[in-house]
Chains A and B, each alone.
Chain A
Amino acid sequence: MRGPLGIFSRVGGRQDLGRGAAFWVAFAIVALGLVAFPLFGSAFYLSNLANFFVYVPMGLGLCLLWGYGGILSFGQASFFGISGYVYGIVAQNLSLTPGASLLGVAAAILATVIVAALFGYFVFYGQVSAWIIPLLTLVLSLILETFMAQTAGYQWRIGHVLLGGYNGMTGIPSIQVGPLEFGGASIALYLLTVIAMLLGYLGLRLLVNSHFGYVVVGVRDDVERTRMLGYNVARMQVTVFALAAGLAGLSGVLYVSWGNYINPSSMGLYAATLPVIWTAVGGRSSLIAVTLSTVALKWLADSLAVRGGEYAFLIMGALLLATMLFFPAGIVVSLNRLWRRARRQAP
């Protein structure tokens, strides 16, 4: 595994679906297609696609945390929201300073990681039972939403930025690097989300196939054994939790750069549920499955919202329950297993 080729053999390692030449050729074609899409697609489609891709890092973070690390969390949306709000506060306050938006990105993701690490410290160093983390992260999401929803009015401001209460924070500037503005309908933001998605996927795939990744999986499979091999399991879990939160934070920043806006429901119960649904439905043991399901389900939810939002919840709930009952490994992962079995039996 040494030398420059080592990286390639590692990315293609065992800890995900999709190995072998056919997969990588298909992957390259899709990646190239996505990068080249602005040559054909209209601004409307680009903006819509960017909105779907924005959520992929958040979904991938939960996939790493839950599927590989065995830690179920409803906290991804909270970190998404914290990041979005922090970015909004910093970037809007410093809107006249050059490079303010990059500072905002750094501050947002840093704040997210710090909050997650603190939360993780209490939870993981106590070696709590597995059910405590989903419970407390749900409470975190409820509290954050309630808190932000009551910050309406002039007294709730940081610098000259109003938090905005239930209606949310508006007028958040997009990320800007020199003359390049990553606004909602821009090619630049579209490409940025594509890059974040592809690099997020490849980077995590590299990670889960590295030594660190195997230890993460080891912790999932047998905490006690891993501790008995000399690993500081609690520190490792905090690291993975904070990394997942950082990815959710990246999604949060991309989201506000896309929409110039964030509101409390982005960290509410429904929002907290979505990453869990993407990960469960796609198949939590596979990064590529979760990437696909995140985009597909985000598209589905948006289409449902157009035709009456009240059904979206219902269909998402039904999808989650049906997946847990009939495809506990996830739909994409189960389909992949079926296909492989069929191919093996074919003459």
Chain B
Amino acid sequence: MNVPYIVSLAYQYADNLAFLLLAALGLMIILGVIDVINLAHGELIMLGAYTTTLAYHRAHLPLPACVLLSFIGVGAFGMLLERTVIRRFYRDKLGALVATWGISLLLSQGMLLFLGPSLIAVPLPEWTLSYAGYSFGGYRLLLFGASILVVLLAWWIFYRTKFGVRTRATMQNPAMAQALGVDTRRIYLYTFAAGSALAGLTGGLYAPTTTIVPLMGTTFVDVAFITVVVGGGANPILGALTSSALLASISAPLSSAFGTFLGRIGLLLTALVIIRFLPRGLSGYFQDLQRRRMAGARS
């Protein structure tokens, strides 16, 4: 083990972590607050990537502006979805899952008919750093930085703003929150929009790194789903962070040694073992731990 090798491993870990985090966070926030799984999440990511790519090529906007546009545009689209479809399923959570699957088919196939099988990708900003024979993509490092920033921002909104307090109250007990004057429907609307906006952001950020095809969402959701299952919905931010930290430590070495596919298999098996023993995922487990500790402190 030499230092450059460790640095290279750390780089791969950071790269994996950022991908898992950005792919799953939006989905997880929606699950945590609304208790709904949005199976069209991958297609929202796809919409984000398309928005950025089109804005870059056709409107000639600089890349950061394109990504911002993805964030806002897909967030607005999410708001529309919540108003027209998701809202009808708050009593039937599995129904929401099936309905969003229908939306996912409509979006990916609609995009295929609308814009054809693929778009020319945004060129990857060519910043490379090299160190002791290894070269690292600067854009990848930027993605890692972005993922950490996004988590910090989400944390700040959740724990340091009035909206966050209302949201957490709604998560704990919607009926009680409503009785205390919280407009839970509005909380749900904004949460769904925020989760969608995060999907759009992810799509925009990753647009330069991948091929832009209508089915690209699936490459994000398989790991996103596993991250959500392992993280659990009890505390979306903590769950997303711990879950992607754990899963990246499995997928990074597996993928670099045996390829992406075995990395994915490793993730699925990890998820199965974790839910066998921690059915509410890591965040559910931490929640229980915390409760027990609080109980111990009281007596």
Q: Is B9 close to A, CB under 8 A? A: no
Known: A138-B225, A310-B112, A324-B99. A128 touches B279 (CB 8 A): yes
Fill in one digit per residue for A258-278: 1 if any B CB lies within 8 Å of its CB, else 0.
Answer: 000000000001000100100
Q: Is B298 close to A, CB under 8 A? A: no
Chain A positions 118-149 with a Cβ under 8 Å from a chain B Cβ: 119, 121-123, 125-132, 134-136, 138-140, 142-143, 146-147
Complex-state Cα separation, A125 to B261, whole angstroms:
27
Q: Name the A residues within 8 Å of B280 (CB-CB).
A: 129
Q: Name the A residues within 8 Å of B268 (CB-CB).
A: 136, 139-140, 143
Known: A310-B109, A325-B85. A320 touches B275 (CB 8 A): no
Q: What's the minimum C-beta distance from B281 to chain A, rounded to whole angstroms?
A: 9
Q: Is A161 close to B, CB under 8 A? A: no
Contact A320 B94, beta carbon cutoff 8 Å: no
Q: Name the B residues within 8 Å of A135 (CB-CB).
A: 37, 225, 228-229
Contact A318 B102, beta carbon cutoff 8 Å: yes
Among the interface residues A127, A129, A314, A322, which one has the most CB atoms of the partner chain B within 10 A? A129
Q: Name the A residues within 8 Å of B271 (CB-CB).
A: 136, 139
Q: Name the A residues within 8 Å of B277 (CB-CB).
A: 126
Complex-state Cα separation, A146 to B113, whole angstroms:
24
Among the interface residues B101, B218, B228, B268, which one has the most CB atoms of the partner chain A within 10 A? B101
Contact B225 A130, beta carbon cutoff 8 Å: no
Interface residue total, chain A, C-beta cutoff 8 A: 42
Q: Name the A residues within 8 Å of B37 (CB-CB).
A: 131, 134-135
Q: Is A9 close to B, CB under 8 A? A: no
Chain B positions 219-274 with a Cβ under 8 Å from a chain A Cβ: 221-222, 225-226, 228-229, 233, 261, 264-265, 268, 271-273
Q: Is A313 close to B, CB under 8 A? A: yes
Report whether over half of chain B's contact residues are helix, strand or loop; otherwise say mixed. helix
Q: What's the minimum C-beta distance from A256 to chain B, rounded to whole angstroms?
A: 24
Q: Name the B residues within 8 Å of A72 (CB-CB).
A: 94, 97-98
Q: Is A203 close to B, CB under 8 A? A: no
Complex-state Cα separation, A94 to B92, whole angstroms:
49
Q: Name the B residues within 8 Å of A276 (CB-CB).
A: 98, 101
Q: Is A280 close to B, CB under 8 A? A: yes
Q: What's the minimum C-beta distance from B171 to chain A, rounded to whole angstroms?
A: 15
Q: Name the B residues within 8 Å of A134 (CB-CB).
A: 37, 39, 94, 97
Q: Is A316 close to B, CB under 8 A? A: yes
Complex-state Cα separation, A345 to B135, whole angstroms:
78
Q: What's the minimum C-beta distance from B230 to chain A, rounded to whole angstroms?
A: 10
Known: A132-B229, A314-B110, A325-B85. A146 touches B261 (CB 8 A): yes
Fill in one digit per residue for A145-160: 1 if any B CB lies within 8 Å of its CB, else 0.
Answer: 0110010000000000
Complex-state Cα separation, A276 to B226, whole angstroms:
21
Q: Is A317 close to B, CB under 8 A? A: yes
Q: Is B293 close to A, CB under 8 A? A: no
Contact A127 B97, beta carbon cutoff 8 Å: no
Known: A314-B106, A317-B106. A143 touches B279 (CB 8 A): no
Contact residue among B105, B218, B265, B279 (Cβ-Cβ distance under 8 Å from A313): B105
Q: What's the minimum C-beta distance from B99 to chain A, rounded to whole angstroms?
A: 4
Complex-state Cα separation, A317 to B103, whole angstroms:
7
Q: Is B168 close to A, CB under 8 A? A: no
Q: What's the minimum C-beta distance from A216 to chain B, rounded to whole angstroms?
A: 17
Q: What's the minimum C-beta distance from A328 to chain B, rounded to whole angstroms?
A: 6
Contact A328 B92, beta carbon cutoff 8 Å: yes
Q: What's the minimum C-beta distance from B69 to chain A, rounded to whole angstroms?
A: 26
Excluding A129-B233, A139-B222, 18 further A-B contacts by CB distance (< 8 Å) are: A123-B272, A126-B275, A130-B94, A134-B94, A135-B225, A135-B228, A136-B229, A143-B222, A147-B265, A280-B98, A310-B109, A313-B112, A314-B106, A314-B113, A321-B99, A324-B99, A325-B85, A325-B99
Of the A-B pairs whose beta carbons lie under 8 Å apart in the complex, a sample of 12, sorted by A's number, is: A126-B278, A127-B279, A132-B229, A134-B97, A139-B225, A142-B222, A310-B112, A317-B106, A320-B98, A321-B99, A324-B102, A325-B99
**For the complex of A and B, 5 pairs with smallest distance between CB atoms:** A317-B105, A321-B102, A320-B102, A313-B109, A324-B99
